Structure 1
Amino acid sequence: MRKSRPRIAIATCVGYEDLKADDRLLREALAARGAEARSVVWDEEGTSWEDTDLCLVRSTWDYHEEHEQFLAWTREVETAAALHNPADLIAWNSEKTYLRELAEAGVSTVSTVWVERGSAGDIEKILGREGWDEVVVKPVVDLGAKNLQRARAGDGSAQEALATVLARHDAIVQPFLPSLEEQGEISLIYIDGAFSHAVRKRPAEGDFRVQGIWGGTVEPAEAEAEQVEVAQAALAFLDTPPLYARVDLVEDLDGSPALIELELIEPNLYLATHPPAAGALAAAALLRVDVDADRDVLQ
């Protein structure tokens, strides 16, 4: 008996029930390869995973608001279906402490000072010790730069920014990089461990945040050899190549490329900027499906 069509769930969030444009491209590519693909809001009650072969985590863009619930959800799904990226990898990547591990392993990352929630966190001492005039402060669990704080030394705003973050989370403090305003970030997208394409993300005039919610724009880009080297070093740290990954790089204070984020949970992969990418991701995803050969064939 022939195998049934693979049954794929594309996890999303409220507001994107019919998926964002990029994920609709993925859904179409999966369907073109014989799969049944549906969108599922990740925290919708009553969802059964028994009729799912593979769940792809895509636009779960509110997971940081219910962090522990989201991680529990990934573990629950994984008991019934294949999950990509896997629950353990998602948990590791969901807190920015992974950047410390990558830096300790020799990956070029943006300089970072770690401050634990509940500590005094004297940011002026941090600035003086590090020689920074301006910083950004981020919670270790965040998405889309929604809770990022930018502050200058000596005007009181830096300590206030740190206190705001520490009220709810551990924090990271990084130097503000002028290159963010001038060049933005370059993102290298990998599918099944292989480089697929790159995009340049630029901030709106007068801003430094490159995300679309802040007016940022995206354009296709060519990755330089040094940038590819940093990206591959970050991915080499992982035990196995993930189904999908986005490596976000910036120009550091010394002009060299540095990792600012390794996105393994729900990154926008900018599939529309590189037409072959949706098909490549769909094909790689289907290789991870173990379809029961005894299932009835759906006509």
Structure 2
Amino acid sequence: MDPTRPDSSVLQLAVDLACRAPSLHNSQPWRWKYVDGQLQLLGDHTRLLPATDPTGRQLHISCGAALHHLSVGLLGLRWSADIRYEERAVSPNLLATISFRRDARPRSHDFDMLTAIRRRRTDRRAFGVFEGIDALVECAVDQARELGVSVVALDPLQREGLLEATESTASARRYDPEYQAELHWWAGHSLATGGIPETSLVSGVAGVPIGRTFPSRQNAPPEESGSVDESTVLAFGTPSDARTDWLHCGRALSAVLLEATVRGAATCPLSHVTEVPRSRSVIHRIVPEIGVPQMLLRIGRAPSGTPPVLTARRSVAEVFSPS
């Protein structure tokens, strides 16, 4: 067996795990190609949400998260992944090339991270305080730093400032017909292999004022009503705002999400307050130490009741082109 080339079953399983990564409105904006013993990650611009993500920043963050999921999956399968980012001048769609080494020695925690891939889900309900949050935040800061990403947990005063950014975003988009049409298409719509199903939405009184305003879920469970969110909010930022920064941020986000899942915390990424320039500037003002704001993440203790379902994904055959 060629020690630099995983067999097809390993590749398909690794790609399947990578495609469990979170993405804007579960749009899954990625494709994978296996060429000459290397795996290529390409951005699928047919899945770009132009009203929500006109620059493609969230598309790249989503693909960065898929890259990290891929690395975690390969490590659990005893392969190391060497990732090389590709320059935009080479190809606007080719984001990274992955080569392989059969030298990985996974530890028990690596297997915990792998199993977390299939257990992680975005929970948009109000959270309670997670008991081990301090240790989790410390771990998140360290994991992100290794990828050149800054992570800061917002204090109560900064959390109040976040409300201003949220309201600014909502105001800018309330009467934007293209954004609203795009949102209603992807959220609550009956898509077989993408989008956010209605069961993953919450009622309009779910107690998360810093969350994105989604279409309200009909007949939401009664425990959502009157809940107050006590989550910890992490802000992710990068030194600059280039394509590689976006990919780094996605990888860091994935690392923190999976670590939180391993430790039993509930999570919910928040991208809406960094999608509108005015609200993004508010985030920069309240957390200047992170650099360029890229993403926020709520972490907390999941409420009682039925957890969100795992959202559907496109099949490996649809997104992966083997040699």
State TM-score, norm by structure 2: 0.26
Tell me which structure has the larger Cα radius of gyration: 1
State TM-score, norm by structure 1: 0.28
Greater share of helix: 2
Greater RCO, CA 8 A, separation 6+: 2
